[in-house]
Amino acid sequence: MEPIFNVRQQSEIYIGPTSDILPGVLPGGRVVVVSDATIDRLYHPMLAPYDTVLIGLGESIKTLQTVESIYRRFIELGVDRSTFVLGIGGGIVTDVAGFAAATYMRGLDFGFVSTTLLGQVDASVGGKNGVNVDGYKNMAGTFSQPRFVICDPGMLRTLSDREFRAGLAEVVKAAIIADADLFARIEATTFDDLRSDTDLLTDAVSASIRVKADIVERDERESGDRRKLNLGHTLAHAIEKCTNRLNHGEAVAVGTALIADASVKLGVLTAEDRDRIAGVLKKLGFDLTPPVDVKRLLKEVGKDKKNEDGMLRIVVPIGIGDCDVRRMSHDEFAALFA
C-alpha cells in the first residue's frame, strides 16, 4: 500500500488496516514494541511476536521517570542501535515511545501504529515527541520524525465516545486553521455519522493530516507556521493544568471557543464565523463552558514556562480555514477576556 503523505521525505503516513500495512513497512531487523496495557488487551496478537515494553495509562505517566523505565527495559532486553522501536497506542504512548527511541543510545529508528483519533490527526504525526515536567506540558522532547505512522480507522471502533470526541476537537482545529471545505463537511454531518461511517471518518482523518503535514513540511521546528497548530492550546493547556476533569480534546474545544470569542473582540473574526465554530463544536457534543474561571486560566497562562521573550504567541482564527499568529503580552491577552 502507498503512503498518503510523506512528511519531509522522512515520515510515511498510511491510512488503512494495520495488518495490511505493517508487514511492508517494518524493517528487517529486530523490533521492540512500546505500548500500554489497554492496547495489549485489545490487540495482543499484534504485539505478541515482539519483545514489548508496556507503560502506564494516562497523562500523568508522560514523565522522564517513565522514559527512564523504558531505557532500563531496553538495556535488559539488549536493545541496541540496530533495533527498531514500534510505538503502538494513542498520543501518550507515541509521545513517550518516540522520545525514548529518539534519545536511547543517541537515537534509534522508530515508527507508530496510532490507535486513537487524537493520535492519528495530531499527536503521532509531525515528529514532535516528549514528556511533561512538573505538570508543564511537553517541556522535554525532540523533533524526530517517525519512519512511518499507520492510522487504522478500524482501530477507532474500540474507543469510547468520549475519547473519539476528543479526537474530533483536533479535526475541527485543523479545519479552522486551513481547510474550510473540511469544516463545511463536518458541519454537514453528525457525531454518530462520523462514528459509524468509515469513509466519512477516513476523509476527516486524511484531511486533518494533510493540514498538519503541509504545515510541518514548511516549518518542522515551530519557528513560524507550525505555531498555528496550537490554535486553542494556550487556554487548553491552562485548563489541563487547573483540572483533570477534561481530557486534552475537551480542553482544546473549550480553548478554541474562547479564542474565537476573543478574536471577535480583537476585530479579526466575524461573529458569524465565531458562531459557526461554537456551533460545530456543540453539535459534536462538546460542553464549551470553561470548567474553571477564565481569570484563573489567565493566571496559569502567565506562569507558562514556554513563553518566548516574555511574550505569548496566540493563534487567532481570522476566518473559517484561516488563522494568524499574534505576538502579545499577557496583559493584552487577558484584556481580550475582560
Q: How far is the CB of 158 from ligand GLY (least distance, A)?
A: 23
Among 73, 128, 165, 274, binds ligand GLY (CB under 6 A): 128
Q: How far is the CB of 80 from ligand GLY (least distance, A)?
A: 29
Number of residues that bind ligand GLY (CB under 6 A): 5
- The residue whose grid cell reads 492510522 is 151
Q: How far is the CB of 170 from ligand GLY (least distance, A)?
A: 8
Estimate the crossing angle of helix 248-266 against helix 271-283, to 10 degrees.
170
Interface with ligand GLY, residue 226, by CB under 6 A: yes
Q: Which stretch binds ligand GLY (CB under 6 A): 35-43, 121-129, 158-166, 305-313?
A: 121-129
C-alpha cell at 36: 500500554
CB 62 within 8 A of CB 96: yes
Backbone angles phi, psi at 112, to 5 degrees: -130, 145
Q: How far is the CB of 41 from ligand GLY (least distance, A)?
A: 27
The dihedral built from the CA positions of residue 25, 153, 211 and 4, taken in this order, carries a sign that is positive
Full DSSP string of 109-158:
-EEEEE-SHHIIIIITSSSB--EEETTEEEEE--B---SEEEE-GGGGGG
Site for ligand GLY in 4-63 (CB under 6 A): none
Task: Name which of 195 and 233 has its Cβ closer to ligand GLY.
Answer: 233
Q: Which stretch binds ligand GLY (CB under 6 A): 122-130, 185-193, 240-248, 322-330?
A: 122-130
Among 87, 89, 90, 126, binds ligand GLY (CB under 6 A): 126
Interface with ligand GLY, residue 137, by CB under 6 A: no
In angstroms, the CA 129 to CA 200 distance is 29
Provide the 10 A C-beta neighbour count for residue 154. Answer: 11
Any idea what the Cα angle at residue 255 is, between residues 250 and 261, rounded to 5°? 135
Task: Name which of 31 and 175 has its Cβ closer to ligand GLY.
Answer: 175
Interface with ligand GLY, residue 204, by CB under 6 A: no
Residue with smallest beta-carbon separation from ligand GLY: 229
Among 92, 108, 229, 259, binds ligand GLY (CB under 6 A): 229
The dihedral built from the CA positions of residue 37, 237, 67 and 60, taken in this order, carries a sign that is negative
Interface residue list for ligand GLY (CB under 6 A): 122, 126, 128, 226, 229
